[in-house]
Amino acid sequence: MYPDDEGVLVHGNHYQAGVPPQLAESYRPLATDSLIRVPRARRGLAAVRTSDTPERVRAAVHEAMSDHLGHPESLCTHPDPAAPEVRRWSTLLSSLVDLTSGEYRVAAGNPCERDYELMPWNLYDGPGA
């Protein structure tokens, strides 16, 4: 992974900054949504730059992570009923951490179906915090 010009770092389920030499000859991303995840996440998260409150930032992230381009395999992945049962997968959770306040929030399951809930701990809690 690597940040874009604005410092946004997104996860794409594939190597983005270089493939390890041991894999270079045969590596191919496995999931069909892998190559569109990075640009879709960056496009969606661009709204965060103009959000002026923590609530609006959370709403922008929620909207971005609920993206369904390529459904069912999208940023917000749902089980594909056409796939054999053993090959079905979905988004397990989406997490959101406010690096200023240390608040940690989780949307358990697909973010399009859940809100981000505040967890009972803070990123900055604990020894040395």
The ranges assigned to domains in the chain are: 34-122
pLDDT higher than 60, residue 129: no
User: In this predicted structure, what is the pLDDT of residue 20?
Assistant: 75
For residue 116 the two structure tokens come to 């981000």
**Among residues 105, 110, 109, 108, which one has the least CA distance to residue 120?**
105
Q: pLDDT (tens digit, 9 = 90+) per residue, 36-79?
A: 888 888 899 999 989 999 999 999 999 999 999 989 988 899 99
Task: List b or e across 102-123, with b for residues whose CB sees 16 or more CB atoms inside 10 angstroms.
Answer: ebbbbbeebbbebebeeeeeee
Question: Closest Cα to residue 64, out of 49, 72, 75?
Answer: 75
